[in-house]
Structure 1
Amino acid sequence: MQSQFIKDLITLPGFLIHGERKEGERWIFELSLPPHCPICPTCFGRTTKISSKRKQWIHGYTNTVGLFWIELPIERRRCQACFLTFTVSYPGLPSHSIATESFQHWVAQLCIGKTIQEVARLLQLAYTTVERWFYQYAPALLPTSNPTVVCVDEFAFRKGHDYGVAVMDTQTRNVLSIASGKNEEAIVEALQPVASKVKYVVSDLAPAMRKAIEKVCPKAIHVLDHFHVIQLFTDALERCRKYLAKGGTKHGSVRRVCRLLSQRPEKLTEEERQEVRQWCQESAYLRDVYQALQHFRYVSKSQTRKQAETRLTQWFDRYLFSDCAAVRSIAKALITRRDAVLSCIVFSYSNGPMEGINNKIKLIKRRGYGYRNIQRFTLRVRLETSITF
């Protein structure tokens, strides 16, 4: 029973177990191969053994034992035909390493969700060794994906200074690529790996986003995020609220006024709707922006593309030459992105999941205390967002 337990623990069924011993704090399992005669790797002839020595590799870890090692004989052999001298190697046991490949792969998996320093302290290994194993085996852990709908958004490495662009698959919530910067070149670099497969691209209203998407994904449909479109109206309402000093300076009162102005009228009580009507009568600016917002929400309720096109055209005809400067500015900003706004109404894709991923990217950045280059940071983010243990 003990022998079977050791076989299950070591997971090397092709080797024979001769025993185990403890040297200091290390448990070592003595293994060997069944009797065999390795052939020459050049001429495939018979070989003879010249010398033999035993070598140890780290092979596993348990909470009670800690690291445990395996020990195997390493033979030097000579071919009887071509006289080639070589060292016998075993699959999965690198000759120039202190650990087996399975253990290195396990350590790379263990680093997902933890810092490399934390894993190195847990296993009592050198930080540089764990770091080398992680970046050697981590790329193989990345899943393959064929995204058809992606979200593109920027995030801050450091507010006001350094920014990056991330591309996420909306179906799997996996980050596909990251580029440094937030200009058109950075967005093009981030979209390049998925440009040939993607059909829909969701983004905000940044001009660089539109230019990069048209350049890299000319056949993809550009969909504006509905939240960012509505934000144009809510920002104008917030400026008006500050100018009219509605809500005072108390946080609770300000939040209440913002909610009444941005909420749909059907979700308000009769008293709240009457209060909003009174504010609109006091300010023509507030009335025009509020009416434009509610009319656009009516356009967003369109059931078919044809109905959406008709309603959107009517909206532009009404507000593109409005007396209110804020409404004209919003209409001009949307008419330059008419197709993307129409796709925003027709399709239900949103950039909301990407905003949550941005927060996770910032947490990974802070937890790692900086990364050597953008490639390693991208690898860490892709692993954290794509693999769940």
Structure 2
Amino acid sequence: MPTNKSPIQNDQTALNAAYQLADLALEQRNLRDQKRILPHEIIKTLVEKGLAAIRVPKQYGGAYVSNQTLAQIFRILAKADANIGQIPQNGFGVQNIIRLVGSEQQKEFVFSEILKGKFIANGGPERNSQDTKSIHTRLDIENNQYFVTGEKFYSTGSQFADWLAIKAQHPEGYLVLVLIDRHAKGVTVVDDWHGFGQRTTSSGSVKLERVNVNPLLIFDERGLTAQNSARGAYSQLLQVAIDVGIAEAAFQDTLSTIRKARPIADANVERASQEPYTLQEVGKLDVLLSAAILLLDDAAAYLDELESANHISDAQIAEASIKVAEAKIYAHHAALTISEKLFELGGSRSSLSQHNLDQHWRNARVHTLHDPVRWKYFALGNYYLNGVHPARHAWI
């Protein structure tokens, strides 16, 4: 029986908390972005409100909100501040892995700690490896003690973490996921992320020098391939929701900017919002954004359908990945197109640094680099033309 309960017990209270946090996140968003001020207080509030624990399964005291609600929450947060939308994303991916492969003892302990307020951040891929699946960080076992040594980058949320989720090579040659105390001896977190977008996500380096770890917090990732799950689609769903949130923020600012802009002289209208070509472009942007939202909702609904099933087939897993890939393509183009059109339709004044409107394009451009859409198109074509199922990992 769970000894802890989240302050959030259903989908509606989760949404209410997300809207409240979004209001807080919006207040000094521009200042944080321009000065690279990390949002420590906002993430602390996110945890206190229980938003980091909304996917803890009900049997362990959590609300386990639907994927549709989860996607909407990420849209809400990313619309307010794309950085706040991204920071908790990896923690939900880690919780899902633990739900799938953890022992009962591991799940009871970890989920209990999350409900108490433990925040999980990503230990990140490795900077100079061949690809994202190449891991040089290692787990060493000596005299029944466990040590992790390595270096990570793109460690989103690491400055806010209680636990860092680190992937490492087990001595026997397989991958493990290890939860490491952020303040343990041998752990160094460096805020050296200098991307031009997503500036305040704390996505820098984590250095691990023979860090002693609790064996209860080591998870064998081989269990992910030993069962059928839509883990990859779930992971990608959150990425899509962040992109949609960025697109929504850009669209909102596009409308308000046009309303303040001067019309082109040749248009012979009083306001820029009456220009016929501007109206046409805004209509196109609205359709693009609406399609992205609908595809996201459809993919999330399908994942909810699979979670309620007793058995998931290979074909259903493939369909889930395809649905999310289709949503990702539209979200990608919506975020980039709308955030760029904002300036074309808003005029020269929209480029003034005091408005900080370029943050939408910068955030969209950086965040959409996580999962290149050229491979989404490939997956779709191969699926529909050749019947080939997408690869099973967190990037499809």
TM-score scaled by structure 1?
A: 0.26
- Structure with higher RCO (Cα < 8 A, 6+ apart): 2
TM-score scaled by structure 2?
A: 0.25
Q: Tell me which protein shows more helix as a share of its residues.
A: 2
- Give the greater-gyration-radius structure (CA): 1
Q: Tell me which protein shows more strand as a share of its residues.
A: 1
